[in-house]
A and B are shown apart, each in its own frame.
Chain A
Amino acid sequence: MNDYLPILLMIALVFAFVGVSFVASGLLGPKAPNSAKQSPYECGIVPEVEPAERFPVKFYLVAMAFIVLDVEIVFLYPFVTVFRQLGLFGLIAMGVFVFGLLIPFAYLLSVGALAWGPVQRRLSAGIGPVRRSAGAVFDPAAPTAAPEHEAA
């Protein structure tokens, strides 16, 4: 139990330091606010236009899909180092693994996540015409929820 003492002391010290710092800066610091000090950047050109436009969300989708599938491949490296010892069993096991990776890919294709080109207001045949949220317990707008427009 004595081993906890340094940790408790450390926690007490941390809080004491934070408290002292806040009180000291509040009491001792000079206060002379003006508009230049309040601005986000104290020097440089005042920004006049909003930053760049928002990117289409499609980029995020592709990036996410890429990251996950890309990183899974890292498991092939350790496999390669013991490829000969594992023999046929290892080959089959890795085959199952890679097959597993193919399924999300097929899923991406089927939901149209990889469909580039002009935006089409097309709902895939497998998805119903209107998605309702009836049955949702806490959804006050349940019967009148708008149809979904992002499946394009």
Chain B
Amino acid sequence: MNPGWDFHAIAPEIIISATIIVVLIADFFFQYRRRFQTSQLATIGVLAAMVPVVTLAVNGGTRQMFGGAFVVDPYSLALTGFFLAAAYVTLLLSVDYIGDGDYYQGEFYVLLLTSLLGMMVMTSARDLITIFVALETISIPTFVLAGWRKHDPKSNEAAIKYYLIGVLSSAIMLYGMSLVFGLTGSTLLRDIALAAPRTPHTSLLIVAVFLTLVGFAFKVSAVPFHFWVPDTYEGAPTPVTAFLSVSSKAGGFVAMLSIVFFGFFAVPDTWQPALWVLAAASMVLGNLAALRQTNIVRMLAYSSIAQGGFILVPFAVAADGHAARSSFEAVVIYLLIYGAMNLGAFAVVIAFARRTRSAEISTYGGLGSYAPSFAVLMTVFLLSLAGLPPLAGWFAKFVMFRSVLDAGTPGATVLGVIAAVMSVVAFFYYLRVVREMWFHPVPDSVNPEPVQIPLALNAAIGICAAIVLIVGIYPQVFARIGELAAGG
């Protein structure tokens, strides 16, 4: 007897699980010189998993499993597609890095795919247990990945900091979930949504929801749960940093979307003030701290904290006015665009660091004079992150401000003003790198020859640049995805 399994609906997850097993087994048998083929197997798996995502999207509709704990709808499909695409780009970024380092190749891809599996389950999870297990499936492999260069003390330190804060926050989140279970009598978000407004213990519910959100605040590196971010991003291998800053962070936002919009939307008092503070603090602190960074990876780390703050803005205003729908769309669209531009920026950093072995911003001096195409691409990604039209970043900012306007309450307006001021501040640090590349002389330590880039990295940069440019000029592409995700 088949207790409600819909194999078509979970086909992407099954394919990735099978790929994990195949890659691990293949790694036993491949000779040392052929180990790079594990990356090809992993890539095939990721691309194959996109096929059922497309067929499910074409079929449309909503499929439920396990009593509503696992739901496949346009929202989950859009984000599953995003995670698969981001994982594909991350694989492209990793191939040469991991291959050159001779670091346990098979295991690297197994862990990367396991984390991806957690993200894919997260998009469909509509139950506290499923969300918890998905979040841990995302996190635990990334703890190992952050410490991948195990002979480098910095990488070790990155791993242990990330690990300790990660387990602390997941324990806090679980405690919050246990209280939610006790107060509402269910772990299904659907039932929680019905029971939450009727619970007599309002204060306890606030504590419970707050503790639950702490776990995700860590995952999305919102201030004040961000201490680990700069250190871990700097110490981890750079492709892993790109993965952490895009996929792992988006995983946390997806969990937040599900919990806030499907679970506790009827009781905004429990989450709105906390998210307002997280959003404001992340924008202010992330942007101001990014101003004084001299290492580009640390600058991108603070920039990703700040971008996380911008993504939290629609959450914080979701319950006001008629912002419910537009804020949901804003989060989804912002995540998709942020993924493309941030992965692109990291791809350029990785490609450039292959030559210089450094990530100091000063080594970028004069890049425009000897590697113009490279400098143009970096400029595109940075200006997109800053939100300059006609690059994709402006549309992300636009949908964010639209949700603020739809809300129209004083709290939302204040947050909108903070976001606007901080968007201007952000220009300074992004433009500093651009100025370094175009208007500064080449430093003595750098050999001014065109930068040689392996094919895989070229492909990754090309994909990200194409998305940033196309979406910047035709934002309807992602706007439509956002509309579908928000329910037609």
A and B, direct touch (CB closer than 8 Å): yes
Determine whether the beta carbon of A136 is less than 8 Å from that of B24: no
Determine whether the beta carbon of A3 is less than 8 Å from that of B28: no
A90 to chain B, nearest CB (A): 8
Give chain B residues whose Cβ lies under 8 Å from the Cβ of A127. 32
Q: Which residues of A contact B (CB under 8 A)?
A: 1, 3-4, 6-7, 85-89, 100, 103, 106-107, 110, 125-128, 130-140, 142, 145-146, 148
Binds A, one of B93-101, B257-265, B320-328, B424-432: B93-101
Determine whether the beta carbon of B32 is less than 8 Å from that of A136: no
Q: Contact mask B14-49 → A, CB, 8 Å, 1/0? A: 000000010011011011100000000000000000
Near A by CB (< 8 A), chain B positions 91-130 give 96-103
Closest to B241 in A: A137
Cross-chain pair count, CB within 8 angstroms: 89
A-B contact pairs, 26 of them (CB 8 A): A3-B203, A4-B273, A85-B1, A86-B3, A88-B1, A103-B21, A107-B28, A110-B28, A125-B31, A126-B30, A126-B32, A127-B32, A128-B102, A135-B99, A135-B100, A135-B101, A137-B237, A137-B238, A137-B353, A138-B152, A138-B154, A138-B234, A138-B235, A138-B357, A139-B152, A142-B357
B398 to chain A, nearest CB (A): 30
Q: Please measure, in the bound complex, the distance between the C-alpha atom of A88 and the C-alpha atom of B99, giving whole angstroms.
A: 44
Give chain A residues whose Cβ lies under 8 Å from the Cβ of B269. 1, 3
Q: Please measure, in the bound complex, the distance between the C-alpha atom of A134 and the C-alpha atom of B96, giving whole angstroms.
A: 11
Determine whether the beta carbon of A3 is less than 8 Å from that of B237: no
Closest to A142 in B: B357
Which 9 A-B pairs give the minimum distances between C-beta atoms? Answer: A135-B100, A137-B353, A135-B101, A110-B28, A128-B32, A137-B238, A131-B102, A3-B203, A87-B1
A146 to chain B, nearest CB (A): 8
Asked whether B292 is an interface residue with its Cβ less than 8 Å from the other chain, the reply is: no
Give chain A residues whose Cβ lies under 8 Å from the Cβ of B102. 128, 130-133
What is the interface of chain A mostly: helix, strand, loop, or mixed?
Answer: loop
Closest to B204 in A: A3
Give chain B residues whose Cβ lies under 8 Å from the Cβ of A3. 202-203, 206, 269
Q: Please measure, in the bound complex, the distance between the C-alpha atom of A127 and the C-alpha atom of B98, giving whole angstroms.
A: 14
Q: Please measure, in the bound complex, the distance between the C-alpha atom of A7 and the C-alpha atom of B277, giving whole angstroms.
A: 15
Give chain A residues whose Cβ lies under 8 Å from the Cβ of B101. 131-136
Give chain A residues whose Cβ lies under 8 Å from the Cβ of B297. 137
Asked whether B207 is an interface residue with its Cβ less than 8 Å from the other chain, the reply is: yes
Of B21, B237, B297, chain A has the most CB atoms within 10 Å of the CB of: B237
Of A3, A6, A146, chain B has the most CB atoms within 10 Å of the CB of: A3
Give chain B residues whose Cβ lies under 8 Å from the Cβ of A140. 357
Q: Please measure, in the bound complex, the distance between the C-alpha atom of A88 and the C-alpha atom of B31, giving whole angstroms.
A: 39
Determine whether the beta carbon of B21 is less than 8 Å from that of A136: no
